[in-house]
Amino acid sequence: MIWTSTGCWGSFWPCGITPGNRGKRSLETICLVLAYKIKYPNNFFLLRGNHECASINRIYGFYDECKRRYNIKLWKTFTDCFNCLPIAALVEGTIFCTHGGLSPDLADLRQLREIDRPLDVPDHGLVCDLLWSDPDEDITGWGENDRGVSYTFGGDVVRNFLKKHDCSLIVRAHQVVEDGYAFFQKRKLVTLFSAPNYCGEFDNAGGAMIVSENLTCSFSILPPKSKFKGLKSSKKNSKT
C-alpha cells in the first residue's frame, strides 16, 4: 500500500503486479517504488503487505524471478528491505491504514509504534493479523479465516475500533474487488485494489483513493482492458 503527500492511496500498481511478487516485472515494480521513496522521502510512504514476506514471495514467484534474472543474494536483500517496512499508518489522526485488517490483539494504537523492525511476519498475533485478516459482512465479532491464517471480523468490530480510537475510516487492500474499491459497513471501511486485470486472471478495475485537505475521499478508477478502449479513467467522490 502506497501513500503520497498529495493524498493518494493505492494498494498496487496499474501494471497488475504487486511490489513483492506475482507478475513478470516484479523487480522493476519494487525498484520504481523504492526509487520514488529515495527521491521523495518525505512525500512518499510505503506499508508492508502480506506478500512482502520471504515465506510467501518465495512460493509465489518473486524468489524465482530474482534467481532467474540475477541471484538469490538479491532476493535476500529485498527480504531485508521488506522486513523494515511499517505495518500501518494513521492519516491526519483519523484514517487508519493497513494491508489486511484489524486484530483482536490491537488494544492501543501505541502498540504499532512498539513493533520492532526489522521483523519477519509471524504466524499469528498482531502483525500477522494486520497483514492477513479480512472483513466479513456475515459475522459478528471474530471468525475463522478461510485463508488458514488470522481472522475475519464483522461490522461490529469495525465500529468499535473506530469509536475507541476516534477514527473515521479504515483503508485496507488484500482482496481483489471488481470496481477497484469496495465499501464495507456503511463506508466505515474501504478495500482498495489498484491492479486492473490482476495477474491476467481477473476482469477487475484498478482503484486509488485521493484524500483532500478537508478529508473528502475520491476514487480514481482505471478500467480493465476489456472496458478500457475508448474510455478514460473515471473519478468518483465520497465524503467520509
**Per-residue pLDDT tens digits for 156-189:** 999 999 999 999 999 999 999 999 999 999 999 9
Q: Which pLDDT value is given to residue 229?
A: 56
Q: Which pLDDT value is given to residue 12?
A: 40
Active site residues: 51
Question: How far is residue 213's CA from residue 190's CA, in Å, rounded to a whole number?
Answer: 19
Residue 152 host element (H or E): strand 151-153
Asked whether the predicted pLDDT for residue 145 surpasses 60, the reply is yes
Question: How far is residue 171's CA from residue 177's CA, in Å, rounded to a whole number?
Answer: 14
The count of other CB atoms within 10 Å of the CB of residue 178 is 12
Q: Can you give the pTM of this predicted structure?
A: 0.87
Instruction: With cut-offs at 50, 70 and 90, classify the pLDDT of residue 200.
Output: confident
**C-alpha cell belonging to residue 43:** 512525500
Q: Which pLDDT value is given to residue 15?
A: 36
Question: How far is residue 43's CA from residue 7's CA, in Å, rounded to a whole number?
Answer: 10
Residue of higher predicted confidence among 133 and 19:
133
Average pLDDT in the chain: 88
Question: How far is residue 107's CA from residue 182's CA, in Å, rounded to a whole number?
Answer: 26
Query: Domain 2-239 classified CATH 3.30.2310.20?
Result: no
Asked whether the predicted pLDDT for residue 23 surpasses 70, the reply is no
